[in-house]
Each structure stands twice: as C-alpha cells, then as structure tokens.
Amino acid sequence: MAKKVLIISTSLRNQSNSEALADAFALGAAAAGHSVEKASLRDKTISFCKGCFACLQKRECVIKDDAVAIVKKMHDADVIVFATPIYYYEMSGQMKTLLDRANALFGSDYAFQDIYMLTTAAEDGTHVPERAVSGLTGWIDCFERASLAGTVFAGGVTGTGEIKGHPALKEAYDMGAAIG
C-alpha cells in the first residue's frame, strides 16, 4: 500500500550533501510507488518554542511562522524522514528547533509510524552521528506508535557536492525503495 512520505531537509545550504541524501531517498520511495513530498527549512522562518504549552490545547502552535505548516504535514505523513548535516556531533540547530515546535503533535492522532534519519558530516567515523540519532530518538520516544526505522550516514563530505559518488546515496535510495 502506498504511503505518504514527508522528507524534511534541514540544511540551510543550497544543494547540500544532506539534501542529496534526501533526494536519493525520495527517488527510491517514489520508485516504490509512495507519495513523496520534500520540505526544506532553507528560507523558512522557524522561531524558538516559548514553552507555553498552548499547542497542547489548541493543537497548533501560537507562533505563526513556517513551522506551523510543516508540523501539519508531519501530522499527516505516514513516514517522516529527517535529513541533517552533523554540527559538533549533533543534529542541526534548525532541526532541533523544528522538533521542539512540533510539540502540538504530542497527544494528537498523528499518522506517522516510521521515522528515518539521513546525516552527513565532514568527519568520517561510525560514532559521528550517534548523538544526533540519540536526540531524534528522544523525540520519537514521545510518540508510542512511532519508531526509528533506519538511518544513513555519509561521512567525509564537507563542501557542496562532495557526496557525489558516495555509497550512502545508494543506501538512501535503497532505504526509500524498501519502505513497506
């Protein structure tokens, strides 16, 4: 059965390496017959969460910026994919800010179950994405029907386009194509 896949590219750099992973995943998911939408945080205004918890009653954040529309898309997606560069062994700040702003999803009848994380970093080592994955897992743990379905890491890529030919691109495509 076709699923609604939302891919959120959190890099603010145009044609970033993590966005290349997102695009590869999207191609794989689309080839498998899924409905795919990509949302980029580049050129979006996403303010910090105020911690007011009004979203839990209103089911929508009271801060009216671009996060509100993205969170609505997250609510309706069957699969959410986050693509982020690794900064100081952690997810990008804009990704963390979006996760905080997605608090309105807590306690809602969200659709998502499978969450994927695609990461890139200048440093190459299997330990590099661990803290970023742990941070996302902390968010996922707040949603009892959701789980981390897979991760892809491309290390050793810094400049725009350095990911070209990296084996992680095929891994991301294959992971997208394998969505069940």
Q: What share of the chain is helix, strand, coil (3-state, %, to 5)?
A: 35, 20, 45
Structural domain count, the chain: 1
pLDDT tens column, 44-99: 999 999 999 999 999 899 999 999 999 999 999 999 999 999 999 999 999 999 99
Bridge partner residues of 84 (DSSP): 119
Q: Which amino acid does the sequence have at 31? A: A
CATH number for the domain harbouring residue 26: 3.40.50.360
pLDDT tens column, 142-172: 999 999 999 999 999 999 999 999 999 999 9
Q: Would you call 53 helix, strand, or coil by DSSP?
A: coil
Whole-number average pLDDT of the chain: 97
Domain holding 173, by residue range, is 4-177
pLDDT tens column, 5-25: 999 999 999 999 999 999 999
- How far is residue 106's CA from residue 24's CA, in Å, rounded to a whole number? 30
pLDDT tens column, 102-118: 999 999 999 999 999 99
180 has pLDDT over 90:
no
